Amino acid sequence: MPSAMATIATPSASAASTNASNYMPHITKSMPYPKSDVRINLRDHSSSKIYTSSSPVAGDVTITTKRDVRFDSIQIVLIGNTKASFDGMSFPQEVTHTFLKMVMPISESVYPIPRVLETGHTYTIPFNFVIPNQLTINACNHDRLSDQLQDHHVLLPPSLGGFQKDDMAPRMTKIEYVIKARVLSEPVLGGKKTRIVEATQQIQVLPASSEEPPLNVTEKDKLYNMSKTKAIRKTFLGTKVGRLTATALQPSAAVVSADGTCLKARPTARISLTYDPESPTMPPPQITTISGKITAHTYYSSGTISSFPNLGVWNQPYILDRRGHFFTSVPLPPIGAPEKQPSWKHRFTSTTRRDSGYGSESSDSSGPTDKAKSRSGSKNTKSPVYLTSTLDIPFDLPTDKKTFVPTFHSCIASRVYTLSLSIGVAAKGASSTVSLTMPLQVAIDGPSNGDTDPTQGLPTFEEAAADEHLRPRVLHVPDEIPAGRASWGPHIGSPFAPAYTEHSGEVAVGGDDELPGYGETGHHRRRD
């Protein structure tokens, strides 16, 4: 019995094309809903504008829909984020820390009734933010080694990675300030709100900062080299004519304008020089050349940073967090030789005088000629005098080429600067170069009176306490001054007693009290 076989007729190419055109099913492409137009319009804004502390960020949000859209609320927020990313063969990692979230309150009268965005209608919602002077205490609530570090972590960090001029930041680290306008819909049964439409606008922020005290640099801080001693020789293995020790002091802060375009305060590096000549008749050395560079160091971590990354050792073994350190240098404008050579003072050598530098190079050791003299038992010809001097080196920052963000330390990112100076000296036909690396703080000048509206900013805890402390009081002139021990100090109920104010059942002295700190009532610092 023959088996049943299915026969499939294969038409010719011409027939196939004809049938395809006749029997092709009609496919209707589902068109998406027309998009709504949401725009953030900033007042007096440009792509190059830089905001600073207490700067108003004002404007409005316009919403135009091409279909009726039912919604529940509209949200306008100013968000500050720090992002750190790490590349790896196994898995890449990106960490985001939100340190700032300011929500613009929207009045109920702004919303339409019912809450439906009608087709073709344009809705305008104004907003007004003020860049804060610092963050809330809750912005930094992780383990830390010192209260000083938390004080840095609650300061507003600058934008990083979005300026028109290079801010010397790596692509692995970004700090962004973004205004977001959202139209939200809330499920009937509750739950997470759904974003129907959203618009974003990024702004650049350089917060004002003040000069910090100088760092206490020790031998463990490998990033810096504050002192160095070099032997001055005519040739590499020739006779030593003297020994020069250079010790640097941390220069004053380089204060940049609020828009980052110019230098408001020119810093000066002070170098202490000590010269030990081989003979008391030798002339002091001459400063021949001075050159320098500024290096921007950016530290970032996948976890919270609990110590200053520029002090000590940053990449320590046996840590779980992934860490990165990126640095790039920019040469200083030409400094050249000083117009006037430093004046040297002759001092007599004492048996108790020590080397002024904690780090010395191997070039300080005696050369072959000196060793030969020692072996031959020749008389010690070391000079009984030494010379001291001070060299002041003013320098500028190349703000026309780079954007210098302020020195800052945040929870997962930090930026510090180092100043490297190379000083060339010459003495009696011999020459040498001494190189030093010292910390340099970059600060941002406060805004001028015309840049901000003094009524916009909110007072800090300290300002509010100072206002309460300096509130005028009415004192009555006493009829007579009490005699004896009663005149030593005021007493409650006497006309000399300071004013007292009751707050929640507590009695606060308004006279000689200090301003309340974080450890006092109403100002609790969070400790882990």
Q: List the beta strands (DSSP E) in 206-267.
A: 227-233, 240-249, 254-256, 263-265
pLDDT > 70? residue 419 = yes
d(CA 15, CA 28): 26
* Closest alpha carbon to 275 in 356, 361, 370: 356
Amino acid at 173: T
Confidence of residue 183 (pLDDT cuts 50, 70, 90): very high
- Spatial contact of 117 and 65, defined as CB atoms under 8 Å apart: yes
* Secondary structure class of 231 (helix, strand, coil): strand
Q: What torsion, rounded to 10 degrees, do the Cα atoms 478, 480, 482, 483 define?
A: 150
pLDDT at 152: 92
pLDDT > 90? residue 79 = yes
pLDDT at 214: 93
Helices (H), 125-239: 147-153
Give tens-digit pLDDT for 367-378: 444 444 443 444
At a CB cut-off of 8 Å and minimum separation 6, what does 156 contact? 53, 80, 100, 131, 132, 133, 134, 135, 205, 207
Confidence of residue 334 (pLDDT cuts 50, 70, 90): confident
- Spatial contact of 46 and 200, defined as CB atoms under 8 Å apart: no
Amino acid at 146: S
pLDDT > 80? residue 243 = yes
DSSP codes of every residue in 468-514: HHT-----PPPSSPPPGGGGGS--TTSTTSPPEEEETTEEEE-SSPP
CATH of 37-205, one of 3.40.50.300, 3.40.50.620, 2.40.40.20, 2.60.40.640: 2.60.40.640
Residue with tokens 């009045």: 107
Give the 3-state DSSP-derived string for 268-293, with helices as H, strands as E and coil as C: EEEEEEEEEECCCCCCCCEEEEEEEE
pLDDT at 391: 93
- Spatial contact of 490 and 498, defined as CB atoms under 8 Å apart: yes
d(CA 272, CA 355): 13
Tokens of 114: 């019912």
Question: Which is more confident, 484 or 385?
Answer: 385
d(CA 59, CA 77): 13
pLDDT at 2: 43
Give tens-digit pLDDT for 7-66: 333 344 444 344 444 444 444 444 455 677 899 999 999 989 999 999 999 999 999 998
d(CA 55, CA 238): 63
Instruction: Provide mean pLDDT across the span 285-300.
Output: 94
- Spatial contact of 132 and 124, defined as CB atoms under 8 Å apart: no
Confidence of residue 239 (pLDDT cuts 50, 70, 90): confident
* Closest alpha carbon to 284 in 392, 389, 358: 389
Question: Which is more confident, 191 or 508?
Answer: 191
Q: Is the pTM of this model over 0.75?
A: no
DSSP codes of every residue in 71-125: -SEEEEEEEEEEEEEE--SS--EEEEEEEEEEE----GGGS-SSSEE-BT-EEEE
Instruction: Provide mean pLDDT across the span 161-168.
Output: 93
CA distances from 482 to 276, 478, 486 (A): 70, 9, 6
Amino acid at 360: S
Confidence of residue 442 (pLDDT cuts 50, 70, 90): very high
pLDDT > 60? residue 380 = no
CA distances from 337 to 149, 288, 327, 433 (A): 40, 5, 28, 13
Confidence of residue 283 (pLDDT cuts 50, 70, 90): confident
Give tens-digit pLDDT for 85-103: 998 767 788 999 999 999 9
